[in-house]
Structure 1
Amino acid sequence: MNNLSIKQEIERRGRLFNAITYVDIAVGVTAGQLRELGIYSGAAGVWVNTELTRGIVSDNSGVAVSIMHTGKDYSDDFSEQGIHYDFPSTQRNGSHDKNEIQALKNCYEAKIPLFVISKSANKKLRDVHIGLIENFDSQYKKAYIKFVSLNVFNVNEPQLVRDTQAKYINKFDALVNKSQVTTSAKRQKRILAADHKPKKVLRYIEDYARNPDVVAEALYKANGICEACHQPAPFIKKSNGEPYLEVHHIIPLSEGGEDSLENVQAICPNCHRKMHFG
């Protein structure tokens, strides 16, 4: 699966849709427009455009570009929210049905939006929804396609942040400190104006391959008691039923400290945070 090609194909489909509308549903589109743009062509229920979409997900098959819902040959359950689409089952020669079903599956696996075309109030024209295949059921030979908004075409790649985890935490902590010196009213104003869905980033993290024996021995020696505040561990781990403590390097590895028993202590989460931020 080619992630770059998937991104490019989603962006291409966004441009096609913007050529017929700037809202979430295109109403009253002519068949000529759909053919000219490559949104749909031919008499098939599933339009693939194999020449253009082969290789995006598989070298052997294309990706569904659109489906045509007429309500005539299949019992597709069409609503304002989406469509339960029956797999094609025709008497055409060759492997047309099989290829179209595979193209739908490729669309589902790559999370590429497709166009759902239906009749307009004027029967000579067509309406076009944007859809995402949420369920692909090979057993019952159906796919559920949910209608979605134009936002689905926004596929900006996550930003690559070349920070160590410690640097990232320090930078974020500095931003929080900066926010804390402003007034609550200003913070709330910025919160209201902010995007409530955080931007994704790809974080490049440098880390150290620690010795698990050092961690295990340090925990064994602590026997469930924090070596800083000398209080019992705050809770029991689900994974192994042992008291939860964290093994802290007295001289950080990033500053040349050794990964040895002499340079670690098993401490509770509060004391660990205090060591780093207190």
Structure 2
Amino acid sequence: MVADSRSFLPMPAVAKLRDVLARTSRVEEELAARLAAYEALRASPNYPNLTSGEVRDSGAYGGQQGVWVDKTRTSALVASGVAVGLRHTGRHYADDLDESGIVYHYPKTRRAGSRDSGEVESIKAAERLRLPVFVISEEGAARRVHLGWVVDHDDAAGIALILFGDRAVAPMLRRDDEVDVFVRGAERRRRQAVASRLERDPTFAFNTIRKYGGSCALTGITVPSMLEAAHVIPVARGGSDHEGNAILLNAALHRAFDAFLWTLHPRTLDVVIRPQGPVAGAMRIEQLSLSGRPGPHRDALEWRMDQFQRQLGSAATAAL
């Protein structure tokens, strides 16, 4: 095997190293270009309500589809391209976007060929290369642009978690055995002050959707725009954003859950219906137990059962 006398590496290894270094340089150049484009947008006198022309001229977005992949610019990084701009109209998944990030649903269209799968791969490429993407939301004629970082994805549920920030960010990592369904002290007071925003926290939503496989826990509904990540212990009452304090429900069952029309038994995970109704069938509950399947943490369900019994009163509680 012929070796390069300067590196003492076999020639194939030298060539591979050069390719890696060249690719790293191109990624750094692309990163610098995206950050510069974002700063240019922020410098606009119209910011944060930008025109579509300003967004296009910056290079943040250049198509009509949900995911814009500028292959001319990014195919040198990944052959199939890297996502640059993600369009969020709010028509289908309005509650998945807030000021901290977005749960972005994979494209599911009827376009010919492999366009959808290619766009999904381009989003994963942005995560892999740690390149930011521009999330463009529409507010009338104005465009809002967020600089986002793809920090996680789940193919089974068809979602990606994108967190916003001027520099690379990452979700808080927790071990599976570290479950705390309550938030304590000063942190609880802070969360009470911003409870309505935290109810829509994209990291909480992403983890909940992933845990339940993108399906309502009790009805099996999988239509994303009909599903909501529900806190078992509400944020305003000190509930945490751990997925142990979560259950994925369709919107109607979420309302019924909040109204204490039903709950889950902490030990058996059986559905418990309010004695005076409505019955399970009237609420379209098809699964009467989560036994053997993912469910909320027992501590969260015990808190919920206590509140459920308080709502019923002592007479009705005796019948449970």
Structure 1 length as normaliser, TM-score? 0.50
Larger of the two Rg values belongs to structure: 1
Structure 2 length as normaliser, TM-score? 0.43
Structure number with higher relative contact order (C-alpha < 8 Å, ≥ 6 residues apart): 1
